[in-house]
Amino acid sequence: MGKNTRIILASASPRRIELMRQVGIEAEIVPSQIVEKAASKEPEEVVKELARQKAEDVAARIIEECGKNGKHKDKPDIVVVGADTVVSAEGNILGKPASKAEAASMIKMLQGKTHQVYTGVAIYFGDSGQWKVFVESTDVFVCPIDEDCIRQYVETGEPMDKAGAYGIQGLFAAFICRIEGDYNNVVGLPIGRVCRELMAAGKYPQ
């Protein structure tokens, strides 16, 4: 199924790339070039909006490229996967910290409490022109963390390119009590759900 389909990941995230490879998908990596901006303030809607914007940007560029090469401009056999992840805590959406001080502030907000991680996924099927857009949510329970530990963690640099200022698959795992939901969703892509959607469409490359 889907052996001739070009699967394109609209992200340069090493975590998303690795999750795709983990399930045998060697996706083409074509990062979106859009300036991300969501109209909604609700985390579930924000991630769906941004995921679709990313996938739309990349799909349009790939379709244009196919047209220039004379390869099925209107309905190329491509699948474009866009994703966006946010952390939601105490009614606040936490993106990537802009500074170490902001990273420390975010972790202080998370420590000793439960928060939610939302990942929106938008999948564009080029041959049908259809979209599948969904969101997955995972509850994350963080242990109490003292200020020295927060400072030491921030100094590692790990929080700086991650939503919510932490990576569950990295050093921050020491502070996770438990989760409820999909672990990979917290990493950055609910890869199981993505695979099921590709299988349902006959596009899973196995």
- Is 84 noted as a catalytic residue in this protein? yes
* HSE-CB of 109 using CA atoms within 13 angstroms: 20
CA dist 20 and 24 (Å) reads 7
H-type alpha helices, 82-182: 100-110, 147-155
Amino acid at 44: E
Are 23 and 191 in contact by the 8 Å Cβ rule? The answer is yes
CA dist 103 and 82 (Å) reads 25
* HSE-CB of 52 using CA atoms within 13 angstroms: 13
Specify the 3-state DSSP secondary structure of 175. Answer: helix
Active-site residue among 74, 84, 146, 161?
84
Instruction: List, by residue number, the catalytic residues.
Output: 84
